[in-house]
Amino acid sequence: MSKIIHAISGPRNISTALMYSFAQRPGCAVFDEPMYGKFLQKKGLNHPGRFETLKKWPTDLPDISGAVQKLAKKNDEIYLKNMAHHMVDEPWDWAEQSAFVFWIRHPRKVVQSFAKVIPDVTIEDIGLDQEWEQWQKVARLPGTKIIVDSDEMLADPARTLPRICEALGLAWRPEMLQWSAGPKSYDGPWAQYWYGNVHKSTGFGQPKMLPEPLIPSHEKVVEAALPAYLSLFSNRFKF
C-alpha cells in the first residue's frame, strides 16, 4: 500500500519547491494542487490559468480521488501538494489515510508575495485561517500530523528535512535537496503564471527576512491572519 503524504499550505509558502523536493524521492509521485480545478469551478474565480486548469485538471471529488488511487497503484509514495483554501467545506474521507504535513509561513511574507500576482489579496486567499480550522479537523484522522514553519525548515534543509521525513515515517533521501531547473511534467497548468521563480531554482534558498509593514490594505490582511498563524506556530514541529 502506498504511503500518502497530504501536504497542506497557503499559497506563496515554498509549496512548489517542496513538491519538487519530494518528487526527487525514488518511487514518489507528486500531485500539484489536486483540488484547484474543483475550487475554481465552484468559486468562479478568474485566476491566472483558469481556462487551462478547468480543461486539464479534475473538477469533482470522484475524479480527484480516482487520480490519487491511480498514482497509488504505480508508486510507493504519493505527495499531494494541496492549498488549504481549496479544501473549505470539502470532505476529508478521500484523504483520511494520509500522513499530514501543514506548511506555514508568516502572513506578511505570504501577502507580500501573493500581491505581486493578485494585488487585491484577501484573508481568504492566503489560507492561514483555513489551515488552523483544518488542523483541528484532521485531529480525528488516524495518520501522523505535523506543522512545519517553512522558514525554520529553510534555515538548514540538510538538517531539518531528515527530521521531517522521520516524523512522517519516511526514510531520508539526500536527493530531496536538489532538482533540475525549469518546468516539470507534474506542474499544474497554472505554472506559467505562478512558478517563474521556482523554475529558476535547483534547490532551497535561504529564508527571507520579515519585510517592513506593507501598504495599509495589505497590512490589514496580515493582521487578520496573524492569530491563526500564531496558533499554528505554537503547535509546530520543533527542530
Residue 117: what pLDDT?
84
3-state SS string over 124-189? HHHCHHHHHHHHHHHHHCCCCEEEEEHHHHHCCHHHHHHHHHHHCCCCCCHHHHECCCCCCCCCCC
> Is 47 among the domain residues?
yes
The dihedrals phi and psi of 4, each to the nearest 5 degrees, come to: -110, 125
pLDDT tops 80 at residue 1? no
pLDDT tens sequence across 137-146: 998 888 899 9
- Residue-range definition of the domain harbouring residue 216: 3-234
33: left (phi over 0), alpha (psi -120 to 50) or beta: left
What integer is the mean pLDDT of 34-44? Answer: 93
- Three cell numbers at 90? 470539502
- The CA distance from 106 to 226, in Å, is 8
> Is 181 among the domain residues?
yes
- The CA distance from 184 to 214, in Å, is 33
Count of structural domains, the chain: 1
Question: Angle CA(20)–CA(21)–CA(25) in degrees, nearest 5?
Answer: 110
* Residues whose CB is less than 8 angstroms from the CB of residue 39 and which lie 6 or more positions away in sequence, other chains included: 45, 83, 85, 86
> Is 239 among the domain residues?
no
> Is 25 among the domain residues?
yes
Residue 101: what pLDDT?
98
Q: What one-character DSSP code corresponds to residue 117?
A: T
Helix (H, G, I), strand (E, B) or coil at 12: coil
pLDDT tops 90 at residue 178? yes
pLDDT tens sequence across 100-139: 999 999 999 999 998 988 899 999 988 999 999 999 999 8
- The CA distance from 146 to 167, in Å, is 8
Q: What is the largest CA-CA distance in the chain?
A: 50
Question: Angle CA(12)–CA(35)–CA(125) in degrees, nearest 5?
Answer: 40
> Is 19 among the domain residues?
yes
- Three cell numbers at 180? 533540475
pLDDT tens sequence across 48-104: 899 999 999 999 999 999 999 999 999 999 999 999 999 998 888 888 889 999 999
Q: Which of 110, 2, 89 is nearest to 39 (CA)?
A: 89
pLDDT tens sequence across 189-217: 999 998 999 999 999 999 989 999 999 99
Grid cell 493578485 — which residue?
118
Residue 12: what pLDDT?
87
Q: What is the DSSP string of 20-83?
A: HHHHTSTTEEEEE-TTHHHHHHHHT---TTHHHHHHHS--SHHHHHHHHHHHHHH-SEEEEEEE
What is the CATH number for 120?
A: 3.40.50.300
Mean pLDDT of the chain: 94
Q: Which of 71, 73, 88, 87 is nearest to 22 (CA)?
A: 71
